[in-house]
Structure 1
Amino acid sequence: MSDDTGDDTLVARESVLGIDIGGTKLAAALVSADGTILTGDRIRTPAGGADQVFAALGELIDRVRGDAAPLAVGVGSAGPLDLQHGLVSPVNIPGWRNFPLVDRVRAVAGAVPVTLGMDGHCFALGEYWSGAGRDAKTLLGIVVSTGVGGGLVVDGKPLIGQSGNAAHIGHVVVDQDGEACACGSYGCVEAYASGPRMVARAQRSGWRTDEDVDAEVLAADAAAGDELALAAFDDGAQALAAGIVATAVTVDLTTVVIGGGVAKAGPVLFDPVQAWAKRLAQLPFVTDLTVVPAQLDNAGLLGAAHQAWAALS
């Protein structure tokens, strides 16, 4: 992990343990009260059953923690989540279904508070704490990757909802007669704006039809001026902007931060998102809506740590 300092004087400071769990990586770090990562590491998420995945996470926790005694643990995970019972069923970790993550982490970390949050909520909270969303009164954080996830921070606190699964912006319906979504509905933001869906849409239009390509290739072609690639990004951006504006008028939103692999496309995503948001946001209280790129590579990890610090206050 790029933020690993290895400095014993830093590690000796009071800290919490932040954990970020995803389908491709597991990350953990000791984080101070001011958001400084004292030491951290990450590994690829192993394939296999529930115990195999957790064994890798347990080893990561032990390695990052070392001789330190974190005051609390914050975990961010893909969902759905069952916060009441501390269970997770990440779509991108097939081995974990109703997996008792909080209890298993507590068994490794010791008798300290363990908080659990949706990965999108933690991303938003991390950007609010230390990234592009600092000083925003109300923040929507969006992760655009193989799916589209999100989280809301209102008055400095994550808006999690009664089940802990609020702000699923990827499944805001923006076209009731639209394409089928993996969630079972139709016309969701994710059905148009996720990386794989934009690639598929471009290929249906004749772009690189016989090649095994991904959103990174699509973004490169769009940046080079390919009309089919640009059209796919514009379609995705329109859906994303529609979801953003729907959220903005619901919670009186001021700031949107977008991260994730697809967001690395830069202007080919952000220019049309900003243009569509300006077109769709007509009510006076959302006309100044700000949409900016994420600043942090580890926002989810920092957001999880922020939740752990909040549990101690």
Structure 2
Amino acid sequence: MHTESVAALDIGGTKIAGALVDGRGRILVRAQRPTPAREDGETVMRAVEEVLAEVSASPLWPSVTAVGIGSAGPVDASAGTVSPVNVPAWRGFPLVERVRAAVGGLPVTLVGDGVAITAAEHWQGAAGGYDDALCMVVSTGVGGGLVLNGRLHPGPTGNSGHIGHISVELDGDSCPCGGRGCVERIASGPNIARRALEGGWEPAPGGDRSAAAVAAAARAGHPVAIASFDRAAQALAAGIAATATLVEIRIAVIGGGVAGAGEVLFAPLRRSLRDYAALSFVQRLEVVPARMGTDAGLVGAAAAALLGSRDGTKTAAVGG
């Protein structure tokens, strides 16, 4: 990694965060705005520009050599565009071009948010020291990214490793992505909660109906809550094992709100992996919690920018 500073943007359906990050992954300056996700595309872009204006007002700005963006997807890094599912006004929005204009022509690297988080975990977190890794976020959705042969592997459009949309149930429910039986349709937080409610779990009157509440009920021994997490763990195990079989990853790092359930998720996940990761070369696969927390998107976007500027690229072709 270089020692220069880069600007980072983490763009999601709830918030747009920005930062200046140094070559050791330390956040030096930060700014944030709510995402005006239901407004028109220019209003969303104004929020991005406000975040950039705030971080560029820092006296550290002259040391910035590049900008990295981790965005909710789909993204198309080859075209420099984003079409986040949860920001309806942005469809094929030319984000790279607009950000480059806002920062005076600095190089801009775009990756999907799952790839950004993977970059962060490999640089500073739980996947450090592993040349072949899958990093996942299990939250409202299920995303991911890959490190292969020691290099971040975003793929041509910046979406490689999107494990949430591997099909693990051939005749399963339709997924909003257009597929069927996807990991996300079973293992995401809202689907864990939906399945528990359908199975007869009931929160306290007026209580929390989220996956976190289901996790608390599972810890207390509620059989329906336990079963919902077991089903999620089974879907994750099938997707992780398929990925490991295909590209020989050595570690799977899992973050996001659902991973906050701890052993309620990880214990059945490790059990289920024994059923699916059966071939000799995947049996030693490690599964561990993520370490980077809520700053992973920013740190990972910075990592992508540092690598992209080093490699002379402006989109997704970033290496380790």
The TM-score bracket by the shorter chain reads: over 0.9
The residue type equivalent to 1:197 in the other structure is: N
Shift of residue 71, structure 1, vs aligned partner: 0.4
Deviation at 1:156, TM superposition (A): 2.9
Offset of residue 218 of structure 1: 1.1
SS of the equivalent of 2:291 reads coil
1:66-85 equivalent positions in 2, closer than 5 A: 66=57, 67=59, 68-69=61-62, 70-85=64-79
Q: For this pair of structures, how many residues does the alignment match?
A: 301
CA contact (8 A) 2:68 2:110 kept: yes
In the alignment, does 2:82 pair up with 1:88?
yes
Match for 1:128 among 122, 132, 147?
Answer: 122
3-state SS of the aligned residue for 2:36? coil
Report how far residue 190 of structure 1 moved. 0.7
1:248-287 CA deviation, whole Å, 9 max, x = no partner? 0100110111111111111111111111112321111111
CA offset digits 1:192-230 (Å, max 9, x no partner): 100111111111111128866111211111121111111
The TM-score with structure 1 as length reference comes to: 0.92
Distance, in Å, in 1 between the alignment partners of 2:193 and 2:55 is 38
Answer yes or no: is the 8 Å Cα contact 2:138–2:255 preserved in 1: yes
Paired letter, 1:31? V
AA in 2 matched with 1:29: A
Q: Say whether residues 1:58 and 2:49 are aligned partners.
A: yes
TM-score by length of 2: 0.90
Residue 317 (structure 2) aligns with: none
Question: Quick one: distance in 1 between partners of 2:90 and 2:115?
Answer: 20
Q: Name the counterpart of 2:96.
A: 102
Alignment of 1:38 onto 2:24: no
Name the amino acid aligned to 1:100: P
What letter corresponds to residue 17 of structure 1 in structure 2? A
> What's the CA shift for 1:231?
0.4
- State yes or no: 1:18 paired with 2:4: no
C-alpha distance in 2 between matches for 1:128 and 1:250 = 20
* Matching of residues 220-231 of structure 1 within 5 Å: 220-231=216-227
Asked if the contact 2:77–2:156 (Cα under 8 Å) also holds between the matched residues in 1, the reply is no
Q: 1:42 Cα deviation (Å)?
A: 2.5
Q: What's the Cα RMSD here?
A: 1.5
Which one-letter code corresponds to 1:208 in the other structure? E
2:305 matched residue in structure 1: 308
Shift of 1:18: 1.0
User: Matched residues in 2 for 1:307 and 1:156: separation?
Assistant: 14
User: In 1, Cα distance between the equivalents of 2:273 and 2:297?
Assistant: 25
Structure 1 CA distance, aligned partners of 2:47 and 2:186? 34
Q: Report deviation, 1:65.
A: 2.4
Which of 17, 20, 45 is the aligned partner of 1:27?
17
Query: Structure 2 CA distance, aligned partners of 1:309 and 1:241?
Result: 33
Q: What pairs with 1:1-313 in structure 2 (closer than 5 Å)? A: 14-47=4-37, 48-66=39-57, 67=59, 68-69=61-62, 70-208=64-202, 213-297=209-293, 298-313=295-310
Distance 1:284 1:239 in 2: 21
Post-superposition offset of 1:41:
2.6
Identity in percent: 50
Give the match's secondary structure for 1:71: strand
- In 2: Cα distance, 1:154 partner to 1:179 partner: 31
Cα distance between partner residues in 1 of 2:50 and 2:74: 25
Q: Could you tell me which residue of structure 2 aligns to residue 8 of structure 1?
A: none
Alpha-carbon deviations, 1:81-100, whole Å to 9, x = none?
22222110000111211111
**Cα distance in structure 2, aligned partners of 1:311 and 1:188:** 32
Question: Separation in 2 of the partners of 1:85 and 1:177?
Answer: 34
Tell me, in whole angstroms, the C-alpha distance in 1 between the residues paired with 2:155 and 2:109. Answer: 15
Structure 2: runs of 5+ lacking an equivalent: 311-320
Residue 316 (structure 2) aligns with: none
1: CA distance, partners of 2:222 / 2:56: 48
Structure 1 residue 162 displacement after superposition: 2.9
Give SS of 2:65's match.
coil
Aligned equivalents of 2:117 and 2:4: distance in 1? 23
Give the Cα–Cα distance (whole angstroms) in 1 for the partners of residues 220 and 56 of structure 2. Answer: 45
